[in-house]
Amino acid sequence: MINPETASFALPAVDLSHYLTPGELQQIVERALAEDLGRGDITSDLLVPSAVQATAVFRARRAGVIAGLDVAAAVYRLVDPALRFGAQVTDGTFVTPDQPIASVSGSARSLLRGERVALNFMQRLSGIASLTARYVAAVRGTRARIVDTRKTTPGLRALEKYAVRAGGGHNHRRDLSDMMLVKDNHLVALRQHGLTLPEAIDRARQALPHAIKIEVEVDRVDQIPAALEARVDAILLDNMPPATLREAVALIDGRALTEASGGVNLETVRALAAAGVDLISVGALTHSAPALDIGLDFVWERGDGR
């Protein structure tokens, strides 16, 4: 029997350092700042005196789960190292409307330069965390765990997978090298080459320099025996209704992890979980999550020495 709690579909805690090195995070933030600043913030530079100091407070305008505080801090650190950023909550915290999340103090010009980029990251990542939390709540009490997919924003996958974790979800493979996932098009190519699935998996295992998780996608119950013969770690049950999922889970009988996928939404996810699957992958967590509404409100402290 395969224990889903020990399978490599998750990290043990919400920690951004598991996903990005400081240098990788800096590169992402630098690209975002370059995109937004262009040749400079002409409005702030021409209208706001350089001596003006202020404090800006991030507040949730809707209830949700926060993610991206370290990213916002990195934004302001790169804009102006003299700025002081402080968080009132941690990533993964559920917040209510008008609740303070973090504050940043220092040059008003610098606060304005980083405002949109910091908010874009926090709103996007908090939206993913908030939607993930809704899916996690929907399957609570079942054995199923909510996992993400590779349907992420190009260049932001690590941050978006981090946000899924902040919302209580789990991570599937990071990239194409992280594990083998044999999908329908792979199976078509194998048949054209005259290879059975067990033969192909056996060849792959011999070629791999180290042990790696292997998962096979099926969309019919009669495809399951070949996957079991190949001794795969997980079987992805694609676009199956709950009754078929229950039949598939019974046939697999703990010999591989079971993953439901395809067309999952908040209305259907509970019924899929009740079929007894170990994992439910949801592309919508990252490709369709609405941004969480977060505002940045300025509290002026003093102006040009007066």
Active-site residues, by number, are: 116, 151, 183, 217, 238
CA-nearest of 225, 274, 275, 245 to 216 is 225
Number of CB atoms found within 10 A of residue 108's CB: 22
Question: Rounded to an integer, what distance in angstroms lies between the CA atom of residue 304 and that of residue 195?
Answer: 76
Per DSSP, the three-state class of 230 is coil
Radius of gyration of the chain (CA): 23
Question: Rounded to an integer, what distance in angstroms lies between the CA atom of residue 144 and that of residue 257?
Answer: 11
Strands (E), 125-204: 145-147, 180-182
CA-CA-CA-CA dihedral for 224, 225, 229, 235, to nearest 10: 10
| Tokens 């042990």 sit on residue | 211
Question: Rounded to an integer, what distance in angstroms lies between the CA atom of residue 210 and that of residue 274?
Answer: 35
CA-nearest of 129, 14, 123 to 58 is 123
Strands (E), the chain: 53-60, 64-65, 84-87, 94-95, 100-107, 145-147, 180-182, 214-218, 234-238, 257-261, 279-281, 294-302
List all residues 6 or more positions away from 14 whose beta carbon is below 8 Å from its beta carbon: 91, 92, 162, 165, 166
